[in-house]
Amino acid sequence: MNKADLVDSIVEKSGTTKKQADTILSALTETIIDSVSSGEKVTLVGFGSFEARDRKARNGRNPQTGKQLKIPATKAPVFSAGKDFKEKVRD
């Protein structure tokens, strides 16, 4: 499912227009991205939570050359599915 499919599904379930659904979906994703990038955790009860986690520096290898390299520490966005979401997927 891509963004257009998701917008169509929102329109069917909520009765809004495509333009309204697209605006709301864009606002939601932008808000989550802005919040997580500023260090906040975003939790949607039953759905899951979004947060940034620190990744330690580590050693790696360039697969083309085989040369060893140092991968620096960084932050990565992480999504953890909520209980209701996990149960729905399992069934």
Domain ranges of the chain: 1-38, 41-91
Low-confidence ranges of the chain (pLDDT < 70): none
| pLDDT in the model for residue 40 | 97
Alpha helix stretches (DSSP H) within the chain: 3-14, 18-37, 83-90
CATH class label, 41-91: few secondary structures
| pLDDT in the model for residue 91 | 87
pTM of the model: 0.81
Do residues 44 and 58 lie in contact, with contact meaning Cβ atoms separated by under 8 Å? no
| pLDDT in the model for residue 68 | 95
Do residues 36 and 53 lie in contact, with contact meaning Cβ atoms separated by under 8 Å? no
Name the burial class of residue 60, with classes exposed (0-12), middle (13-18) and buried (19+) by CB atoms within 10 angstroms of its CB. exposed
Q: Look at the chain and count its residues.
A: 91
